[in-house]
Amino acid sequence: MIAPLAFVVGLSMAKEALEDWQRFIQDMKVNLRKVSVHKGGGRFGYEDGICYVETMNLDGETNLKVKRSLEITLPLDDDEVFNDFKGHGVSYGVNSSEVEIAAAKQLDSETSIALDLYNLAVCHTAIPELNEETGSFNYEAESPDEGAFLVAAREFGFEFFKRTQSSVFIRQMHTSGSTIDREFKILNLLEFNSKRKRMSVVVRNESGEILVMCKGADSVILERLSKHGRMYEEDTKMHLNEYGGSRLADLSFGLQKARGSRSTLLGTMNSLKAKTSIGSDREAMLEQVADLIEKDLILVGATAVEDKLQKGVPRCIDKLAQAGLKIWVLTGDKMETAINIGFACSLLRQGMKQICISAMHTDLIGGDAEKLIVLLSYAAGFPKQKALVTRLVKEGTGKTTLAIGDGANDVGMIQEADIGVGISGVEGMQAVMASDFSIAQFRFLERLLIVHGHWCYKRIAQMICYFIYKNIAFGLTLFYFEAYTAFSGQSVYDDWYMLLFNVVLTSLPVISLGVFEQDLSSEVCLQFPALYQQGPKNLFFDWYRIIGWMVNGVYSSLAIYFLTINFLRDQAFRAGGQTTDMAVVGTIMFTGIIWAVNVQIALKTSHFTWIQHLFVWGSIATWYIFLLGYGFSSPLFSGYSFRILDAVAPAPIYWFAALIVATVCNVPTSSTLRTSGLSTDGSPCDSGDKDL
């Protein structure tokens, strides 16, 4: 009985060995890459002190990460200078100045539009890459929106063309055709995250002015404005509402402009100290520093970018809705933007009742919740909140949930759901790495669920039910023989017959059923999305279906055993008058089992390929090949089955018994197939599919 266990363990070991070998080959490729090694007596490093790191092997992110050296260590690119380095500090000064001064005075040298465009071109972490074919710059940005803003600034005459360890260079173009290159020295960088919803840079321009350029969500920027920096607030709010109504993702820009502002410089120094700390309060320190710097801003403008839907999204969502799926959209956009996106992607339709719940109105609203789709907007802006909403739906409804996302902020939601789907794209690979399934575009979800979801449910249901059937049909024959022999413990089958039944002789047809079966074509599944409901309603794996297969197994076992016994009881087995012994009875009965269960799965298979034919009929052929080889082996090994095929093959009753047993066992199955609701091409005809 150890043979099946050894077979399974051997396959697992072979699989692990193959994966280890592939990992070894990949590691060798990485480890054998050529690198430059500094051995002394020369120079090393880049002139601007910048290196670009790709962390895809660690976190799945394909975007390049910028790593900068400290400004004071930038010249330390040779051995002599490095050995003489003793440490150094820089004081940014403590001169105080008024922050809340008139906006007109603060904007005396440059217009608000120019400052807004400077903000677009300076406040980011992108890397410019020169396209030698076109002569223009491509931008390696953390997000598609950031890259779009840089392109927009370039079109308006403010081109970001160079970044060094401590500076950002902007090429300003005038209407006369002349250009001026401007340098902004970076003093501090406060990075964007989903909790802060903003990003800021502290820079010093060529005039010595220190600027805090901040961009982020309008709700965050507006609450950080100074009382003298709100002159464009009402107009900006009006424009933002228009953007939201046009399904655009908006971004607001603020500026703090002061010469040696005490709070700004002190915040910059504290920021550097907080970034280099390793204590548990590091995040709290960074947040305090950010609040110290990002205040008393002047509103200089707002922008919006169209977050275009991928091809096929409306059709996909419409098909999923027809399939009976309840769809929720978790977004951090404004309510108006979220509703417009819902209409654009066919999630919302005219005539559908809408319920809008805001933070100010938390009363429960009655009604038929099954017919409503609720868009959660502000409550789902953060990754943690998306995960909590997913958990609420999963635990509150008790239903199976699927979450799909394409960015790092969707990881929590994907992991919280029962099934996670990640979309690989410009947002990085974190969602893909955290998911159960990965697709390239959202529209592929339609085929993944409606086609492959339906197929997989039917395959698994039939595979499990058939596995129950064939083991009942086989196992009960052993019990019947024990009853006939007064439970003596003697088995009617050779030990090797029983070992090979599940491992070799009937395993491959089950695998083919679970992998290749298609009860309906993909075109029919897509044409009738409601067929997907067979899975959620569990039409093919309920107790009625399981008990039906069990009854079928009991019926087959009775037919196999008693037909075989009665065929061989009162008549000679060979032309010479010889009767059967126990080895012959076991072989004839086992042959009937092999034929019965393999014909059963052939009748249950709706979609045949050459693989199914090979596995089903090949399993029957393997039984005869085994009998031939096993019978010709040494009597010390084969025992009473020595040359067993020579004993049974010449007898007509051997073949007659297999034919009659296989026919009788599968009469009920063939009868139900004639009355089932499937036509010859696999399309549904009626609702009368009552097969077991």
- Measured CA distances, 451 to 387, 437, 445, 520 (Å): 28, 15, 10, 9
List helix spans (H) across 350-501: 383-397, 411-416, 430-433, 444-446, 454-484, 495-500
Sheet containing 158-163: order of strands: 158-163, 167-173, 179-190, 198-204, 210-216, 248-258, 298-306
∠ CA 169-171-177, nearest 5°, is 170
Smallest CA-to-CA distance from 507 within 411, 594, 576 is with 594
Look-up of token digits 């086992």: 590
**CA torsion through residues 292, 293, 298, 304, sign:** negative
* 107-111 contacts, C-beta under 8 A, 24 or more apart: 107/257, 107/298
Look-up of token digits 């979801």: 453
Residue type, 375: L
According to the model, what pLDDT value does residue 547 have?
92
Cα separation, 348 vs 318, whole angstroms: 10
According to the model, what pLDDT value does residue 689 have?
39
Phi, psi angles (nearest 5°) of residue 201:
-130, 140
According to the model, what pLDDT value does residue 411 have?
87
List helix spans (H) across 173-249: 218-222, 233-245
According to the model, what pLDDT value does residue 538 have?
87
The backbone region for 73, taken as left when phi is positive above 0, alpha when psi lies in -120 to 50, beta otherwise, is alpha
- Cβ-based neighbour number of residue 111 at 10 Å: 10
DSSP string, 558-572: HHHHHHHHHHHHSS-
Residue ranges per structural domain of the chain: 112-304, 313-355+373-443, 447-674
Please state the pTM of the whole predicted model.
Answer: 0.66
Secondary-structure breakdown of the chain: helix, strand, coil percentages, each rounded to the nearest 5: 50, 15, 35
Mean pLDDT, contiguous 10-residue spans, the chain (692 residues): 66 85 80 68 56 58 61 65 58 34 38 77 88 83 82 88 88 81 88 80 86 87 86 85 78 76 54 58 76 85 81 88 86 74 80 70 41 38 78 88 86 90 79 88 91 92 92 92 86 89 90 89 91 88 91 93 86 71 88 93 89 92 91 84 85 89 86 51 40 34
Cα separation, 91 vs 3, whole angstroms: 77
Q: Do strands 64-68 and 50-54 pair parallel, antiparallel, or not at all (unpaired)?
A: antiparallel
- Cβ-based neighbour number of residue 10 at 10 Å: 10
Cα separation, 619 vs 507, whole angstroms: 8
Cα separation, 234 vs 446, whole angstroms: 43
CATH architecture of structural domain 313-355+373-443:
3-Layer(aba) Sandwich (3.40)
115 and 215 Cβ atoms separated by less than 8 Å: no
316 and 443 Cβ atoms separated by less than 8 Å: yes
Three-class SS state of 249: strand
* 32-39 contacts, C-beta under 8 A, 24 or more apart: none
Report the C-alpha dihedral over residues 222, 228, 230, 232, rounded to 10 degrees. -140
Q: Under CATH, which number does the domain 112-304 receive?
A: 3.40.1110.10
Provide the terminal-to-terminal Cα distance of the chain, rounded to the nearest Å.
Answer: 32
Residue length, the chain? 692
Lookup: tokens for 209 = 């002015």
The backbone region for 365, taken as left when phi is positive above 0, alpha when psi lies in -120 to 50, beta otherwise, is beta
